[in-house]
Structure 1
Amino acid sequence: MSKLPAATRDWLAGPGLTRLWEAARKRLESNGVQATGSLRLISVNAQERNDLSLMLGKPFTGATVTVRLDALDTRLRASAAGLGLREVLEELGQPLTDRRAIRAGVAARREHVWSSLTSALDTSPLAGQEWTGQWYDLLRRNGVPGGVTPETAIRTLQQAVQVLTVLLGPERDGTRGRGELAATATGSAHGLDDGTWLARLVQRGIALAHSTEFPGDAAGRRALWRLVSVTPDEVSSTVLTYGLRPVGGGWREQVLRQRADHHAESHLTSRDLHDLQLQLPAGTLIHICENPRVVEAAADAACIHALVCTSGSAATVVLTLLDALAATGCRFAYHGDFDWPGIALANRIIHRYGAQPWRMSAEDYERLAASSQAAGIPRLPLDGQPVSAAWDQHLAPTMTALGVALHEELTLDLLVDELSGRT
């Protein structure tokens, strides 16, 4: 229920005072809800001058009016309104927001985050180590990620100190799994997964403690974990291969050669790649495909050429294998999907390894589109933003003109013929 008399409220809410209340509300919300300071209204019209004169008890004749808020507050209290400026503003609109107090509260909570980190470090076995000061300064400069509450930030930073104490403190010993370490610190085996803020915090600390650069890729991050005897999950992600015949004498190399002899595909984990001696005859041509169906068809046809499958986006384990093969002097030929993600992936692989495009020209696309249409295969729309093919300036315009996405499975027969050495 309004505290203002109806007639008074109607007059105060009139158009002649609207700008006054808007400016006063903005000022009070920014200065701690105090009726202090002055307002300056410009281009004041006749009705505004008249109402402001009545409100403040003195005539205004110019186009600019300066209003002292303390005088306005006093005038309102002595008028029929009988309320101060803050109360009048809230009677005419929404409750005022003390933005200064909100900013102060935010700043206080932010400062509490960093004081909590200081306390956690000072009371941990890490206290006094040179790198911890660098770590604190770096984290403070980077700040808390958007969307992370102060409470969550404090908990995560304390967990980071806990993990780093285990890894770098005076009682560190033995090798442990990353999932085990995460579960102990966070209650979740995924708490230190790549991409989490906690993982980045801990990795920053490890890098500083060992005076090494912070890695920019997954392989580098795994190497960083190994510096502190932490074993990442190196068995769940695999790369699909066919026909690899490394010349090493270990049992892993022998298994790969045996599977190649029996025309069987192989799934290699990151752990396999650490221990394999992937030495192939210099100049060996490795074909790379995007879809596992190509590997399956190559195995069924007892193809003679080696094949590595990216399985879509080329996960780290795929690139690790290709890097190792490239280091031995292997050459590469790449084929993938004729859609925009497929062209983007082809650009990456061709650029990284100097691979030759394998049936990936504009002419290849046109022939495949024509043969698919003639076979009555339903047309798949080409969606998304066009991606230029670095190896063929005509491919993207041709794909855009036809507007058809053609996946690798549509050209299996041709690819298998070439992998079999028949063409």
Structure 2
Amino acid sequence: MGSCPPPPGANGIQPSGSIRLTGCTAAEREALSLLLGRRVTTATAMIRLADLDSRLRDTAADCGLAAVVDQLGLPLTDRRAAWDTGRQEQAALWTAAEAAIAASALAGQDWVGGWLDDLRRTGALGRLVPQEATGLLHQAIRVLGLLRSDRGEEAAPYGRGELATRVTGTAHGLDDDTVLSRLVLRGLARATAGEPPENAPGRRALWCAAAVVPDEVSSTVPTYGLRPVGRGWRERALRERADHHAETHLTLRELNVVPSSDTLVHICENPRVVEAAAEARCGGALVCTSGSASTVVLELLDTLAAAGLRLRYHGDFDWPGIALANRVIRRYSALPWQMVAEDYEQLAAHAQDQGSPGLPLVGTPLEASWDADLAAVMTALNVALHEESALDRLIADLAPGAP
């Protein structure tokens, strides 16, 4: 009787448990009977894998179940071996990190051990393949070494893009949405006995404290009608633009210009609403998220909310729009602005009367935190209504401006 070699790594693969086959045809029952050495008479068959393995070894094939499955080209995973390999790779990752720290400007700094322990405990690198995790951790060590070394009081601050280019080869290597940025910020927080920042202002403050200058001019937030208090030239310029019914794109440098606390600020999702408000010479104040609400948008809204301004929000009537609305309304305790189920029904009826082609909703339905009926109504009508469909209603709702 011939024999076949075990599949690679099969030592830890042992057949156990059972499988249940249903709907077996007469021909399949006959084949199972021959395979198992016992008669299978029903359409449902329970097969113990250990018995099947023993049966295969006793036949002419002289192969166990694992070898047969491997010969059929089906993948087998030795979970115990994979777990052992993973443990070894993780151990090698942290050993290499400790060696890199010992050879860097971070050597001897008390907070570094706690930083590594935090990363291990929280699994910050757990979803990355070992090679990628090792590379990112070594880049984080290099960045922190540059920032925490004694560069002298006269040293110029780093630009974040320049620092990223120096370490990663790309100016976007330390952007807020990167793993590397999160690793570095955890290290900076640990070095200063603080907590990792949870929002954009906290991240900016921590970068600045480490003498890293964030990019403050490339991202902007479209606004209209903001009339900040104060006598500075920025405040005067914004009031003048509001007087002339002109929109303004604010950068991160300009977010400290705040209107009086009794101002009602409307928030929209689409820049077309800002444009239409300027064309109609509206008198209300408006901030646009331009879709998903970038860092500069959230920082402006954070500033306005902290100053006690009242906020109202309108966005798209589709599932991504509801997700963004939930985010903004919850974060700022904002009121919905023509965003309840009745508004949706009226807009849908108006679009149908105009003969507009219906755009079906796509994605997973979401409950609206401000209206328990909205999701059900949207699901029933199944039409996506973007903010432009409500443009006339929104502009009419803003306070009229001067001629």
When the two structures are superposed, what TM-score results if normalisation uses the length of structure 1? 0.74
Contact 1:144 1:153 in 2 (8 A): no
Contact 1:265 1:299 in 2 (8 A): yes
Alignment equivalent of 1:136, drawn from 71, 93, 116: 116
Contact 1:302 1:420 in 2 (8 A): no
Q: State how far apart, in whole Å, the 1-side matches of 2:295 and 2:88 are.
A: 42
Q: State how far apart, in whole Å, the 2-side matches of 1:307 and 1:256 are.
A: 13
- Pick closer, same or farther for the CA change 1:26–1:292 going to 2, 3 Å: closer
After TM superposition, the structure 1 = structure 2 runs for residues 196-345 of structure 1, keeping only pairs within 5 Å, are 196-273=178-255, 276-278=256-258, 280-345=259-324
In structure 1, the gaps of 5 or more residues are: 1-7, 14-20, 32-44, 50-64, 66-84
Question: Is 1:163 the counterpart of 2:154 in the alignment?
Answer: no
Q: 1:216-246: per-residue Cα shift (whole Å, max 9, x none)?
A: 2222212111110101222222111000010
The residue aligned with 2:164 is 182
Q: State how far apart, in whole Å, the 2-side matches of 1:235 and 1:346 are.
A: 26
Contact 1:206 1:224 in 2 (8 A): yes
Question: Is 1:388 the counterpart of 2:370 in the alignment?
Answer: no
- Pick closer, same or farther for the CA change 1:363–1:92 going to 2, 3 Å: closer
Q: State how far apart, in whole Å, the 2-side matches of 1:254 and 1:102 are.
A: 65
Q: State how far apart, in whole Å, the 2-side matches of 1:27 and 1:125 are.
A: 43
- Pick closer, same or farther for the CA change 1:106–1:316 going to 2, 3 Å: closer
Alignment equivalent of 1:114, drawn from 67, 77, 94: 94
- Pick closer, same or farther for the CA change 1:376–1:130 going to 2, 3 Å: same
Contact 1:126 1:168 in 2 (8 A): yes
Contact 1:239 1:310 in 2 (8 A): yes
Q: CA deviation at 1:256?
A: 0.9
Q: CA deviation at 1:28?
A: 6.3
The residue aligned with 1:153 is 133
Q: Which moved more, 1:389-398 or 1:262-271?
A: 389-398
Q: CA deviation at 1:142?
A: 3.7
Q: 1:170-198: per-residue Cα shift (whole Å, max 9, x none)?
A: 22533111111111112222222223222
The residue aligned with 2:25 is none
When the two structures are superposed, what TM-score results if normalisation uses the length of structure 2? 0.78
Q: Which protein has the larger Cα radius of gyration, Structure 1 or Structure 2?
A: 1
Q: CA deviation at 1:149?
A: 3.7
Contact 2:119 2:125 in 1 (8 A): no
Aligned-pair RMSD on alpha carbons? Answer: 3.8
In structure 2, the gaps of 5 or more residues are: 14-32, 38-49, 51-61
The residue aligned with 2:397 is 418
1:169 is matched by which residue type in structure 2? S
Q: State how far apart, in whole Å, the 2-side matches of 1:165 and 1:303 are.
A: 53
Q: State how far apart, in whole Å, the 1-side matches of 2:373 and 2:36 are.
A: 68
1:137 is matched by which residue type in structure 2? D
Q: 1:354-410: per-residue Cα shift (whole Å, max 9, x none)?
A: 322222222222222122211111111122222222333222222222211111111
The residue aligned with 2:42 is none
